[in-house]
Amino acid sequence: MMRISPPAFLAFSLLSCLPALAGKPEFELVIRQHLFEPAVVVIPANTKIKLWVKNEDLTPEEFESYELNREKVILGGRRAVIFIGPLPPGEYLFFGEFNPKSAQGKIIAE
């Protein structure tokens, strides 16, 4: 019977769970004065990502995208996460449902 020392066991245990801890790539989008910043977000193609949307305005805004099939209301002063992908290479438009003329942007998967 082979014995493994406690430090070796601990090191093996930590290393074996690193892929699970790595998670999905994360990106941040801010709503400020009814605009998305940055207006263009470049993400890796064919990869599921986490998009954090922080609304710094006092009023709610809805992240809306027909191409991404996503819509999510983010209350003023709050933050929300939207999972996107995996996407083939291309451009995907999004806008703010409550301020569609000013709150516009796109995600580029490359």
Question: CA-to-CA distance for 74 and 35, rounded, in angstroms?
Answer: 13
> pLDDT band at 48, cuts 50/70/90?
very high
> Which tokens hold the place of 2?
């082979």
- Of residues 17 and 25, more confidence is placed in 25
Torsion angles phi and psi, residue 20, rounded to 5: -70, -35
Contacts of 91 (CB under 8 A, 6+ apart): 106, 107, 108, 109
Per-residue pLDDT at 4 exceeds 70: no
pTM exceeds 0.85, yes or no: no
Cα–Cα dist 59/8, whole Å: 53
Locus of tokens 């999905």? 24
**pLDDT bracket for residue 23 (50, 70, 90):** confident
pLDDT digits (tens, 9 = 90+) for 72-106: 999 999 999 999 999 999 999 999 999 999 999 99
Residue of higher predicted confidence among 2 and 28:
28
| CA distances in angstroms from 65 to 52, 72, 101, 106, listed in the order given | 15, 9, 14, 9
Residue 90, phi-psi category: left (phi > 0), alpha (psi -120 to 50), beta (remainder): left
Instruction: Calculate what percentage of the chain has a pLDDT beyond 90.
Output: 79
Question: Rounded to an integer, what distance in angstroms lies between the CA atom of residue 30 and that of residue 36?
Answer: 6
